[in-house]
Each structure stands twice: as structure tokens, then as C-alpha cells.
Structure 1
């Protein structure tokens, strides 16, 4: 390594500790940073929470001049600037939320050299007057966040991002760093092409988020399943995604009636309403936000502990990005997907009806991959990572399939019961009606249609609705039954059902899994956390955050609090060694946390002494 690069690495490590409180770079960060410092265009692929932002924030602090950051959402800019300010980094944003006076103050600060990072939306950046204005400053780096938006192969393609390729014409000598967590091979190649990158350095980090435990349940009474799962979370915060505004509103009411502090977020609400919901969530005043995908990339909250998908997403990339909003601090997190074949059939119909000819094939391929993930009976993480060509050789041990493997059984009899019932109902019925007949329910429609006289009536009464729903789902997966969306989603028999009905062939299924097991522990749960002290530290953090009108995670992350319980710092020299504690945060917040730890140790000295004996 050259002397110059050695010096730059020392400066970078100093900036990392001073501003962000970390002693060393994570995997891939220094490789990307050193490429940028050597003036090379760079593409960085790292998982959400993997530390992508550091890859341009450190060069911004080491290089002379201004770093321009292209960001897609106002809320994301605001969050990142707020966090950087708390870390002592001079940053600002320019977007439509600012008044003319505020905008002028920022331009003056730029002229005075008081700002190191400036966040802008692509729409603003590409205006002629702005490009002219910004060219007056010494531009050392252009960072393009959420770079998958550049590519038409990406799951979140945006036309304004596509035009960013012209930046190379305006600033030919300024390196560009593009960053994303969600890009398959085709999207990666398209990003490089669209941004006109010259001889780029590409860092392809792993896509794995090992701290997230993936769970999937066959959806049956999805609202009730979500309520049950959220109640298992012990008050931890999370996001629940729904496929429509109506579902968001319905589920929000249900969770509120269950006593869970939550609110809904979707495009049907006003800007003020959405901003209020997001701010309350960021400040831990809401445990749960129920949202459509409108609640998207602007979520920079590090202590989200779970993400639920009430409805199946339209692509693996969307699923990966949305679940990646949990556990950004590296602490244990949960992801739950509720899957129903009827939802899948509806989405395929929406794609067929709504996609342009150019997008149809792409969107259908992406959804087919998402459907394959949901229907797989092998390690969830292996299937997920394989999609991104990030092959995992062994099962992960931290998903529902690994921790509670499917138990296969001879399901020929159960299959014959369902198939026979569908046949006798003249293939003109919904899954729920088949279940009602199988279980012998005395509902008016059954009596009026005299379906209580069928030989299949009540033959499945010993099993629950959820059990039979799962069996029907598996029959659909195995191609014996299909959903006819042209006839309101009714069940129809395929020809392959005939040999099962005749007893000429047997069938195996997985024993239905009806709930997420609360007994199964996330294997990434730290074992050295003093839970009592951790709770006291969280309480203090919330108090300080409220006094400073800040989200709690901006003060210190959950991971930093956990490290405090392990290191028990009782002086400033000890406290600065806690992960995530930089010099600015030490001076602003260190004292009350040190004082609390000292008090806790004094009050528990006898107990702690006994525990070491």
C-alpha cells in the first residue's frame, strides 16, 4: 500500500471513530472507500443495514470539497441529515420542504464551505439552474443512493433516476459512487451502463442479513394472525405491510382494538397525516405502523424489530428490501410473510391487466420468483440469497424451515376429502365454502343448497378451518387444484386430481404449520445482555430523546445500549470504547449514561459479586 493511501486510510479510520464511534470498517467498506479516494467510479452492493452510507460519508469527511448525495425521498434525506448532525457532521438537504429563506441560508453555508454533504432529489439535481449553481463549488464526489431506481430491470424503477447518466457530462472528473441493497445481475449491469461509469470498481457484498429470522405462514384470517404475531413481540416496534389502503385501515383498527399503539400510512392520507405517523413511529410513540409500500425507503429507523407482510409482495427485491428495514442495528429481528394462493392469482391478473408490454415479462418473471420463494419447503435464506446469486452452501438455522422442518405425512385421505368435496360442489365454490362443508357447518347457504346432504359434509369436522386451508394451499402448490380468477377465484380440479380421487396414486404433504412458534429463539440473540440494565438504558435514552425532540435511536442504537451492558463503562475513556459512540455523542450524552451505569453497579454489587463466584 502506498504511503499516500496509508495516510488516507489513517484519516478515514480517524473519521470513522470520531464521528461514528467505530474502531474498524465492516467487510467491503474500506475497499469501496479506497476506490473512491483513488477517484474511481464505484458500485456498492451491500445488504440493508450493512453500512453502505459509510462508503460515501467517510470520503466526504476526508476529501476536500462537497459531496453531493442523490436520495429519492424527502423523509430519508431528513433522517440522514439529522443523524449526521448528531454525530457532528456538517450536512444539509435541499428539497421542496424548505422555504426560500431556508434554501438561501443553505446556499450561503455552501459558499462558506460549512457543509460537507448535501442531499438532493434527482428531480432538483437535474434542473439546469441547479447544475449551473452547484458547478460553482468544488465537487469532490457524487453519491447515488438506492441506485436500483436507475434501471428498468429494478423493482423500483424511476424515470428521474434514469436521467442521472448525464451527470458524467456535467462533472467528468468527479467520481460517482452508486449504492443499493437490491439488484440482481441484470440490474447491476444496467446501473453501470445508465450512469456511464468509466472503468468502475464494483463491490458485491453478500446479501445475507443473518440477524433476521424468516417465517412464513399459510394465510388464513390474516388480520388475526398479524394480531397474534404482534402480541408475541413484547412491545418491540415493527412494520406491517398490506396490499391495499382498505386493508391498512381495517388492520389498523383491529390492532388498536387489541390495545396495540399503532396507526396507518398510505397514499390516501394527507402529507401532514403521513408525516405525523412517521414521526411518531420514529420517536417510539407508535409500536406498529400498518402501511402500503408508500411507507418505503424513507425508513431509516435502526431499532425496527419485525416486519410483517400481510400480502405477498410483487418481487423478491421488494420483499428483501422491506424485510431489511428490520434489525438495521444488527440486533435480532423477525420477518413474517402470510401467503395465500388467491393473493398470488390476483397479483398475476393485476400484472396482466396493468403492465405495459415492455414491463409485463419483467414483472411476471419477478413475481414467479417471489411465488417460488413462498412455496419452497427448503431453507428460506438459501432460496432468498440464491435469487441474488449469493449462494449459501448450508441451511441457515435461523428460519422457520430450519428451526421447525416440515414434517411430511401421507395425505392421500385428506386430499381425497378435499378433491371429492370440490367435485361434488360442481367446481363452483370458494376455498372457504369447501372448508365449511367439510367441517359440517350449519350455515344458511349450505342448508339452502342442500349441501348438508353430500357425502363429504362434516367428514373433516375434527380439524380446524386453518388446517383445511393449509391442505387446500398445498393441493394448489402441487397442481391438483387451481384458482379460476375469471370466475371470482373459485376452485377447479386439474386433470392430475383424477388418479388421487380414484386411489391410483398417493400424495405426501407437509403437516400444516398453523402459527409462528414463540418458543423458537432467534439464534442471533446476544447472550451477554443484562436485560434489567438494558431496559433502564432504553428508558434513559427515550427521556433524553424527548427532551431533545429526537428519535430515540438517533441518540444511541439498541446495539450501542447492548454493548454498554457488556462493557459497563464508568468513565469517559471507557464510554468512548462502546460501539457507536463518537466524540460528539460522548460529549452530548455520555455523562447521564455513565452515571446510570455507576448507580446500577452500586445497587447490584452484591448480586454481581455472587455471579462471578
Structure 2
């Protein structure tokens, strides 16, 4: 039992004062306050937040707020080193103990611990449980243990590690200390097991949303893999990309292929020496490498928020792995793409690897092997389903998804075309399963439906069944895929481990009675007809460096081909958070790079891209103004601040930009209200001029406001006043071009629209046309409601 929780009377303001001081953060993310409060009050907790959800802040704040010593259990040395380096750069007293430390460095960490100068000690589970270190920690009076990657303690998790099981001894060894488990991926079953294994007492259970709305999920049938990967990377030229492979050889071969085609790529896997792995991580963090081709070991220690694409060159081992690996994309909140190149062979490959590992590991529990194989099956269901990917992921982790079409996956974007009403085919398959007595697997049922002339079928008398040869003209692979689709849609049940058989369930009978319609993959000949329609488009694809973010997608994917993005196109405004000057942003990135090289740390340790964007949007020219920016703490303001505000001031003078833009954004509600009143008198004058049809440049000159700011006023004007026409600002022919693109790709982010029209229109004009379309539709709805 842990001791009674010590009640600490810290307010939200107290917590924010600490986050502001060290991290320059004035706003907490969902559940961070509750998790920090549990840590401060020494109440056991289980915190489940998605990758990028801010877990680390939850265990970093309590020890400095309460002036005490806590321990973080972390599975990877790279993760420990990155976190300690970053915390120390912020002036936070942190240390680590791991095998790569010199004896002098390890002694210094222990000295800081003994003298009470260390607030947070990072250590691996194996090192933590060494008797000598446990005795030191007892003498130091450790207040809390934070167990990161806590799913590793559960047999039902996707990454069980036996050494984590031994952490349950912490409860008896440190009865007064609280235990806090942190993970990004845990189903309800795994959550319950974590609580039980760690012996948490009355824990605060804090589970955030698993959905990452800024991630665009795509599943593409694997064909010419290296070309497919090359095309996808081409859509993100110059951006950070991670490619995940199953084997070490795969990573090396693919990385060398990319390097030979002038892609700044490197491979990373557990078979490399520590120095080699560290070098790759450091070069990636320093922006010297754009693409990492890795096994699943890569990424846990990387704190790079601007990864724009995660590619799976093969199916992942589990949905948990997929959620964690794709979760490394878009941690800055901006759109990012996640592409899975899938083949049914991936399932068999993972099953073989799991079984091989079990044979080579004495004492492996057969139930654990069966569980891991079942996790692979969930990946197959995810990859072959015709359901919103965001919905599938949320529901897998036990959360409802009721938002309708997400607009951020291949299914909801209408890119998955290979499906049709397959009710009759489903009835034929289910009928065959019933007639063979529900005693056979997918292979045998397929043979019967195809009318195979085999001795086994004749011996069983299955050649005399009414379903024998019922689908004799169907391609075998397509038919097997249909059977698996029925299993995945829970219209058939597949039972057994070594030799699974098919059985009917209640839903099967609904299909047989015609009470339920079924969607199944289209037959290949029907897909081929669609492919021929777009053959000319496919043949006209441009070079990989000019491929668009949304496409063209690889041959065989049954998806529409989209035009290429011009290489000179700059990011759309909706992807850089408002009135960000692209030139200033790049200038600040260059300054950050200089500091990173000078101090020998990764660029993100200086400032994240998100902080630089905010600087380029608000353009502070004083240290006081700089401190109001998220991500700028006191220490960074003191030793980096003057250089950055000088660079901003010089740029604003050179380009006639308004400096020190005042924008507060404490809450979504206040941000909404603030946008409606931004600029006060200037905004009102702009509206008056827009009523007369004044051009943007004229309004900009009259108000002495940046053109980008005036475009913002104009969008608000169109949204609120709903003018019948916007021809004063966007030529009619341009409007028609944009509207036609919207009919094809929808009214989502601007980038796909720009790509659809071949980069012919300025971003502000596209955004204004979208605003006008939304305003017109809103006016029509209002009119219907009133009638």
C-alpha cells in the first residue's frame, strides 16, 4: 500500500507558472492538469495520451513544482538522453543513469542525486532494480516513480517486456511513493492489466482521445514498393519522413535505393552499433537527413515535431504499433500523411516471425503467442476495411467516433474505389460454409466455390454440393479476399489457432435471409475497366520531385490520379497557422540552425518549428514580447532572445511588415471572439472598403496593414456579410476553376485543391472562394430553416 496522498494546494496558475518558466507554455493540453495534479498530490495514476499528447510534461512538472526527487523509468537510452539534454538546456535539473555514460558522468549523476540537486532521474527498468541503486533511492526519499511506456508490463500489450514485470516490487519497496503509469497505446484490457501488475492504489485513470484529426491515413495495395515509396517521399520533398520496414535488410536496401536517387536518407535498426544509431538520430534531428528508413525501434527517443509523413512499407505488427508509429507524424498539429503499403502476405510473414521467436525462446506461453497472432489479424482487418480509418482506430482503443466522414483518410476522401454491392456473393460464400458443415477453413471453402477437381473434395463428397463451382469464374485471390472481408465485417466467424475454421453467426443468417446488405471488393475485371479510364493520366505522371501531396497514387491502388504540385509552391496559409510570413519563418530557421551547430544540439532543442511559426506570425521585437510566445521560457529568452528579436526587427524593416502583432489565444472560445474583433477600427474600416469592392492592395495601403492581414479581414467579411459576388477580388474564371477542383477533392485543406488545379491560383484566392462557398451554403440553409 502506498502512503496516504499528501494534499498539495497548488492552483492551475502555480502549474502554469512552472510550465511558462521552463517550457514557455501558457496553456495546458487536455488531461495534463489532472495528471500533474495527481503527481503533485502523490496519488497513483494511469495516464493514456496519444503520441504527441504531452505525456512527458505530466511527470516533469511535479518534482520542480514540489521541489522533490522523482524517478522516470524509460526503456530506451536514446529516449533518456534526448529528454535529459533538452531539460538541461532549459535549466531543469535532470540526470540519467544508463550504460552509455562514462564512469565520471555516472558518478556526477549519483552525486547530484545524493545532494538533492536532481529533480528527475531517468533510468532503465533493469538498472533501477539493482540493489545498490534501490538503496540510494531509499536514502534520497524518492517521492514518485513515473513508468513510461507502461504497456510493456502487460502480457496483453503489443510490446511485452519481462523486465517491466519486476517493477511491481516498487510498491512494497517504496510504500510512501506514488506510482504513475504512462503510455500512448493501451486498449481497455491492457489498461486494467497495467493497474493490476503495478498494484496501483485508487489510481486516477486519465485516458485521452486516441484520434489524431490532423493525420491523413491511406492504405495502398503494395505493388512496385520502391517506386511507391519514392513517389510518396516526392510528395514531401525536403520534409521529414520516416519509413518503417519489417526487417533490417529491408531498411538497408531501401535506404540505399533512395540515396542513389538523391534522397537524403539513412537506415536505422537495432543491429547497428550504438554510435551509428546515435549518429543517424542526431543527423535527423539536425535536419541533415530528410528520410529515415527504420525498423520499429526508431522514433521512441525522437522529439521532432515536424515529421510530415510516416510510411509503412509493410503491415505493422499490431494496431498499437501502427498508432504509435504513425503518431510520430504531425506532432506540431499541422497536417501529416500516413501511408501503409499493404499486402495479405504481411500477415503470414508476421505470424511466421512470431512463431519462430516463440520456438527460439524457452518457456514462451502459448497464450501469449496466440494473442500476438490475433493482433496481426486486427491489422489485416484495418487494412482491408471500407470504413473510416479514424473511426476504426478510435473504436479499436475502446472510444466511440461519432463525427461522420473524417475528410482525412482514403475512405472518406473517396479514394478507395474497389468496392460494390456484394450481397449475392456474400450469400454464396456463407451458404458454402454452412454446406461443408462449418468444419473447414478459407482455403477449402474457396476450393469448393471455385469447383476445384481435387481428391480431397471428392472424398468428402463436396463436389456434389449445390455450392460446388458456384463461383468457378472468380479469381482465387479476389474470392479469398471476399471471405476475409466477411470475417472482418463479423459476418462470418473464424475460430481456432493452428487450423482456423469458418463458422456462421447471427449476422450470417441476416445476410442469408436478405435482411442485410454487404459491400465487398469489386472483381478485378471491373477494377481494370476503371483503371483504363485513367491510363492517360497515369502515363503523364511527372517526375517524383513534383508529385503532389494527395497523389498521384501508385498503380493498382484503385484511386484517382491527381495533378502534380509545382515545386515552387509554398505551403498554404491554413497549414502554417495564420498570417505567418514564409520568408521570416525561413530566416528564423536559419538562425536556429546556426545556434544548433554552435552549441552542438539538435535544432528542435533550440526551438520547435511551431514556436518559429508563432514568432513569424506575431513578430515580437522585444524580450518581453518574445516571452509571450509558446515554447520560449526564461532561460531561452535570456540566452537566445536578443538574437531572435534582432533578426525579426531587421526583417520587418526590410519588408515593411508590421512588428509586434498582438494576438492572445488562451482558449478556443476566446480565440474565436478575438478573431471577430481583431484589428478593431482597422477591421471596421476594411469592411467599409470591401462593401465598395476595394481591392486588397488598396485596403492594405489605406490601413497600413500587411496584405496577408487584409486577406484575413476579407475572409471574415465574406463569412459574416455573405456578399453575392466576390468577383472584385477573384476573377470569375478563377472562381470556376477552383469550384471545379472543390467538386473533385472536396472542401477540406487548401493543398489538395491547389494540386488539383495544377498550382495555377494564389493561396489567398483559393481560401476566399472556399469561404464564399461556405457562406453561400450557410445562407441557403438559413433560408430553408426559415421557410
Corresponding residue number in structure 2 for 1:298: 301
CA contact (8 A) 2:32 2:54 kept: yes
Whether 1:163 and 2:166 are equivalent positions in the alignment is: yes
Partners of 2:410 and 2:416 within 8 A in 1:
no
Report if the CA contact (8 A) 1:332-1:524 is conserved.
no
Q: In the alignment, what sits opposite 1:561?
A: 612
Decide which of 548, 557, 563 is 2:599's aligned counterpart: 548
CA distance in 1, matches of 2:375, 2:614: 40
Is 1:375 aligned with 2:384?
A: yes
Question: Is the contact made by 2:415 and 2:558 (CA closer than 8 Å) also made in structure 1?
Answer: no
Verify: 1:389 aligned to 2:393, yes or no. no
Counterpart secondary structure, 2:209: coil
1:312 matches 2:315: yes
> 1:239 aligned to 2:242?
yes
Can you list the C-alpha shifts for 1:75-124, whole angstroms capped at 9, x where unaligned?
00000011111222110101111122221112222222221111000000
**Aligned-partner Cα distance in 2 for 1:114–1:205:** 33
Distance, in Å, in 1 between the alignment partners of 2:150 and 2:104 is: 31
Distance in 1 of aligned mates of 2:388 and 2:143: 44
Give the distance between the partners of 2:51 and 2:573, measured in 1 at CA.
Answer: 20
Structure 2 residue matching 1:139: 3-state secondary structure = coil
The 8 Å contact of residues 415 and 560 in structure 2, kept in 1 or not, is answered as no
Q: Which range moved further: 221-230 or 589-598? A: 589-598
Aligned equivalents of 2:519, 2:192: Cα separation in 1: 47
C-alpha deviations, 1:278-317, integer Å up to 9, x for none? 2211211111111112324222322222111001011000
Give the counterpart of 1:84 among 83, 87, 93: 87
1:538 to 581, 586, 589: 589
Secondary structure of the residue that 1:47 maps to in structure 2?
Answer: coil
- Which residue of the partner structure matches residue 597 of structure 1? 648
Partner of 2:638: 587
Q: Give, in whole Å, the separation in 2 of the partners of 1:426 and 1:550.
A: 68
Deviation at 1:249, TM superposition (A): 1.4
Shift of 1:140: 1.8
Q: Assess, with a 3 A threshold, how the Cα gap between structure 1 residues 518 and 584 changes in structure 2: closer, same or farther.
A: farther
After TM superposition, the structure 1 = structure 2 runs for residues 30-109 of structure 1, keeping only pairs within 5 Å, are: 30-109=33-112
Alpha-carbon distance between aligned partners in 1 of 2:453 and 2:603, rounded to the nearest angstrom: 59
Partner of 1:182: 185
d(CA) in 1 for partners of 2:562 and 2:577? 20
Any idea what the Cα deviations from partners look like across 1:517-557, whole Å, max 9, x if unmatched?
A: 58799997245132222222222211211111111111111
Aligned to 2:625: 574
Q: C-alpha separation between the residues in 1 aligned to 2:105 and 2:28? A: 35
> What residue number does 2:745 align with?
none
2:483 aligned residue (476, 479, 485):
479
1:233-382 to structure 2, matched below 5 A, reads 233-355=236-358, 356=364, 357-382=366-391
Structure 1 residues 272-281 or 544-553, which shifts more?
272-281
Aligned partners of 1:247, 1:212: CA distance in 2, in Å?
26
TM-score by length of 2: 0.65
Gaps of 5+ in 2: 1-6, 359-363, 426-445, 455-474, 487-517, 531-556, 566-570, 658-696, 711-787
Give the Å deviation of 1:154. Answer: 0.9
Q: CA deviation at 1:246?
A: 1.6
Work out which of the residue numbers 196, 199, 202 in structure 1 matches 2:202: 199
Measured at CA, do residues 524 and 350 of structure 1 come closer, stay the same or move farther in structure 2, by a change above 3 Å? farther
Secondary structure of 1:82's counterpart equals helix
Pairwise CA distance, 1:382: 0.6
Distance verdict in 2 for CA 1:506–1:72, change over 3 Å:
closer
Instruction: Compute the TM-score of the two structures, normalised by the length of structure 1.
Output: 0.82
Residue 173 and residue 258 in structure 1: after superposition, are their counterparts in 2 closer, same or farther (change >3 A)? Answer: same
Q: Tell me the equivalent position of 2:233.
A: 230
- The DSSP-based 3-state class of the residue aligned with 1:115 is coil
**How many Å separate the matches in 1 of 2:217 and 2:573?**
12
Task: Determine if the alignment matches structure 1 residue 525 to structure 2 residue 575.
Answer: yes
Alpha-carbon distance change, 474 to 534 in structure 1, aligned in 2, over 3 angstroms: farther
Q: Write the distance in 2 (CA, Å) between the matches of 1:480 and 1:62.
A: 54
State the alpha-carbon separation in 2 of the partners of residues 527 and 9 from structure 1.
Answer: 27
Alignment partner of 1:129 is 2:132: yes
Q: Which runs of 4+ in 1 moved over 6 A?
A: 409-412, 423-427, 518-524
Partner residue, 1:139 = 142
Deviation at 1:344, TM superposition (A): 2.1
CA, structure 1 residues 601+506, in 2 after alignment: closer, same or farther (shift >3 Å)?
closer
The answer on 1:407 being equivalent to 2:417 is: yes
How far apart, in 2, do the equivalents of 1:30 and 1:411 lie?
49
* Alignment partners' CA distance in 2, 1:475 and 1:513: 18
User: What's the CA shift for 1:272?
Assistant: 2.0
Residue number among 396, 408, 416 corresponding to 1:398 in the alignment = 408
Residues 439-458 of structure 1 show CA distances to partners (whole Å, capped at 9, x for unaligned) of xxxxxxxxxxxxxxxxxxxx
Aligned-residue offset at 1:186: 1.1
Change (3 A) 1:586 1:346: same
Give the deviation of 1:584 after TM superposition: 1.0
User: Cα offset for 1:324?
Assistant: 1.0
- Structure 1 residues 327 and 155: alpha-carbon distance in aligned structure 2, compared to 1, 3 A threshold: same
Alignment partners' CA distance in 1, 2:387 and 2:241: 26
Change (3 A) 1:472 1:593: farther
How far, CA to CA, are the matches of 1:411 and 1:200 in structure 2? 49
SS of 2:27's partner is coil
Q: Is the 8 A contact 2:416 2:559 kept in 1?
A: no
Asked if the contact 1:213/1:522 (under 8 Å) is kept, the reply is no
CA distance in 1, matches of 2:14, 2:420: 65
Aligned to 2:438: none
Deviation at 1:64, TM superposition (A): 2.9
For structure 1, list consecutive stretches of 5 or more residues without a partner in the other structure.
428-470, 483-504
Per-residue CA deviations over 1:137-158 (Å, capped at 9, x if unaligned) read: 0312211111111111111111
State the match for 1:450 in structure 2: none
- 1: CA distance, partners of 2:72 / 2:654: 48
Q: How many Å apart are 1:244 and its aligned residue?
A: 1.1
